[in-house]
Copies of this chain bind each other. A is one copy, B any other.
Amino acid sequence: MKIEKILKTVVKKNENKILLVVMDGLGGLPDPETGKTELESASKPNLDSYAKAGMCGLSIPILTGITPGSGPAHLSLFGYDPIQHQIGRGVLEACGIGMEIKKQDIAIRGNFATIDKNQIVTDRRAARIPTEENRKIVEILREKIKKIKGIEIIIETVKEHRVAIILRGNNLSPSVSENDPQKEGLPLKKIVPLEEGAKFTADVLNDFLNQAQEILSNIDTKAKTILLRGFSNLPEIEPFETRYLLRAACIASYPMYKGLAKLVGMEVITGLDTIDDQIVALNNLYDRYDFFYLHYKKTDSAGEDGNFKKKIAAIEEFDEKISRIKHLNFDVICITGDHSTPCALKGHSWHPVPLVVVSKNLIPDDVDRLTERACAKGMLGTIPATDIMYILLANALKFEKFGA
């Protein structure tokens, strides 16, 4: 991004505090019956009061028309180019369950799967075994497989049939093929190197799979092998503290968002299971950080479920919670989403996301509701999500003049 060419010359530290509230999957689409979106249908006096006090707009998560996953959508909100910094699926999966990933590690997504005695994949998800069964199997695998050819093997349960695996050691490469035949009824594939220097990694993985299959064959479970994909390294991301001179805290309850915050160098506050825990943490930690990332998940989950009423309820719940931080003197508050998750589409979408920034250093516009249509008329306009961080830093007076 162009701003990176001058960022170092303008960014400065001061005492001002920024709060970035991410209501996951915030934007929506109209209910065909009422013609109103989820945000337009919800009663949310507190969120609307921020819209009234601040300057509103819409943000484009990645590029016009592009629907983002959570990873790239959050990188944008954190001010990084999501196309330049692509996060591998394995890294995202490992992040998502709070695994520590080090430089040079290879992170991998795994599915337990069922194979027959001829190595034919009969169920790519091993009948979605219960998470508890997954945990027990992982325990046994961990016990029996610790290192292969000097490479440490770290396995963690994600949920149901899913696991995350980290390879730790020297001379590893993520450029290897998957063993997943993609369709049931086909034989497992051998993992092969996709570039020079990846042969060692392929050997380690094939060896690991042989050992794992041997172990699984003696356990009473549908999990008889592991399909591996998303081999990836940690992306190179300059941390918040050096990039923005911000001491940043992540106030999230879901592992994925904690993992993403960790990638950009935030301190992840642990033990926050509910939005109430998160609001308490925000109050308690207010003095200790310059930047707070508060993540609220339920708006996205309800959108993914296609449950319009549930999404309204999620918005209304958060509206009540946010009232409990009004006494904190944040210098800059931003409320937005990482992307839209319209109930009508039951998934993430490309639609620009409502956005409000409140600060004493901006001109309040005449938008008085945090909705898609109202924010479209705001003074911020429709902007790339990557601009948001710089608007927040500017409003917090954390930029020096550029040039004389």
A residues within 8 Å of B by Cβ?
2-3, 5-6, 10, 29-30, 35, 37, 62-73, 82-83, 86-87, 89, 92, 344-345, 347-351, 361-366, 372-373, 376-377, 379, 381-383, 387, 390-391, 393-394, 399-404
If A394-B66, A399-B65 touch, whether A379 touches B379 (CB-CB below 8 Å) is no
| A interface majority secondary structure | loop
Q: Distance in Å from the Cβ of A33 to the closest Cβ of chain B? A: 14
Chain B residues lying within 8 Å of A364, measured Cβ to Cβ, are: 30, 35
The 8 Å CB contact of A29, one of B6, B361, B400, is B361
Find out whether the CB atom of B401 lies under 8 angstroms from the CB atom of A69.
Answer: yes
- Copy count, this protein chain: 2
Query: Contact check: which of B10, B83, B92 meets A5 at CB < 8 Å?
Result: B83
Complex: A402 Cα to B89 Cα, angstroms = 11
* Residue in chain B with minimal CB distance to A30: B363
**Which residues of the partner chain B approach A66 to less than 8 Å between Cβ atoms?**
3, 6, 10, 390, 394, 399, 402
Of the listed residues A82, A350, A363, the one surrounded by the most CB atoms of chain B closer than 10 A to its CB is A363
**Known A-B contacts A64-B391, A387-B64; A69 and B345 likewise in contact (beta carbons under 8 Å):** no
Q: For A366, list chain B residues within 8 Å (CB).
A: 373
User: Given A2-B83, A72-B403, A402-B68, are A363 and B379 also a contact pair (CB < 8 Å)?
Assistant: no
Count chain B CB atoms within 10 A of each CB in A29, A66, A390 and give the residue with the most.
A66
Cα-based distance from A67 to B87 in the complex (angstroms): 32
A363–B63 CB distance below 8 A = no
Point out the residues of chain B lying under 8 angstroms from A2, CB to CB.
63, 83
A399 touches B5 (CB 8 A): no
Task: Please give, as numbers and ranges, the residues of chain B lying within 8 Å of A363 by CB-CB distance.
Answer: 29-30, 37, 351, 372-373
Given contacts A30-B363, A363-B30, contact A72 B402 (CB under 8 A): yes
Q: Taking the nearest CB of chain B, how far is it from the CB of A377, in angstroms? A: 8
- Most chain B CB within 10 A, of A37, A387, A403, is at A403
Q: Known contacts A5-B83, A363-B29; is A390 also within 8 Å of B64 by CB?
A: yes
Instruction: Give 19 A-B contacts (CB < 8 Å), ordered by A residue.
Output: A5-B83, A10-B67, A62-B402, A63-B390, A64-B387, A64-B390, A65-B390, A65-B391, A65-B393, A66-B390, A66-B394, A67-B400, A69-B404, A71-B403, A82-B403, A92-B403, A349-B394, A350-B394, A376-B379
CB-defined contacts of A348 to chain B, threshold 8 Å: 401
| Pairwise interchain contact A69-B403, C-beta atoms closer than 8 A | yes
* Contacting residues, chain B, for A87 (C-beta < 8 A): 403
A3 and B82 form a contact (CB under 8 A): no
10 more contacts with CB within 8 A, not counting A6-B83, A69-B402, A351-B363, are: A10-B67, A62-B402, A67-B402, A68-B402, A69-B403, A70-B404, A73-B403, A82-B403, A365-B376, A381-B381
